[in-house]
Amino acid sequence: MKSIMTKQEIVRSENLFRLLEGYSEDLPQEKKEYILEQVNKVVAVHTDIDALDNYWCSMSLNEFCDSLAIQAIEVGTISEAEINEGLRLIWETEPPEQIYYLEKYTKAIEDYYKRSEGTISDMLFWSNYGEADINTVINALKSNEELIFEFDGNVCGKSIKLQ
């Protein structure tokens, strides 16, 4: 993922790695809290002890540090063209790059379209949209419709709220 990260994000990730390389869930609580405090001084989005104790279930320490280091696009500063580019990048990449773009764009996109229910991840991944249907996602975001996502990925129209 470092190949697509900004220099600032790379430095942040490296600093986090140095803080966390000796961390384990067996450390005394006071030590955990001290490390957490130091981590939260570095990260773009605050984390908690539970995340520090359990990240290893789904990713390596390097991937975890990279994910904490990502600087999301500031809410209210994104254009529709940037949203379309962000959705395309999310759609066309595989993890771990895909995770990077999700972290980078999600909050700004959801705020731009004032989504009160559901998430971009729900729309892109739980629905099994095909690549040709990215415009369907964009149109759904614009309309603020509630959508059903069936297992085959068809958008069926208004329905239950995404949780």
The alpha carbon of 145 is separated from its chain's Cα centroid by a whole number of angstroms, namely: 23
This prediction has a pTM of 0.69
Classify residue 155 by its DSSP letter.
Answer: B
- Domain ranges, residue 20: 2-69
Tell me how many domains the chain contains. Answer: 2
The verdict on 6 and 50 lying in the same domain is yes
89 lies in a domain? Answer: yes
Whether 130 is covered by a domain: the verdict is yes
Task: Identify the CA nearest to 1 among candidates 93, 121, 106, 131.
Answer: 93
> pLDDT tens string for the chain (163 positions)?
778 999 999 999 999 999 999 999 899 999 999 999 999 999 877 899 999 999 888 889 999 999 899 988 988 888 988 988 888 888 788 877 888 888 888 888 888 877 666 677 766 666 555 554 667 777 777 765 554 444 333 333 333 333 3
DSSP 30-87: HHHHHHHHHHHHH-SS---HHHHHHGGGTS-HHHHHHHHH--PPPTT---HHHHHHHH
**84 in the same domain as 138:** yes
Phi, psi of 69 (to 5 degrees): -85, -15
Same structural domain, 87 and 40: no
Instruction: Identify whether 90 is part of a domain.
Output: yes
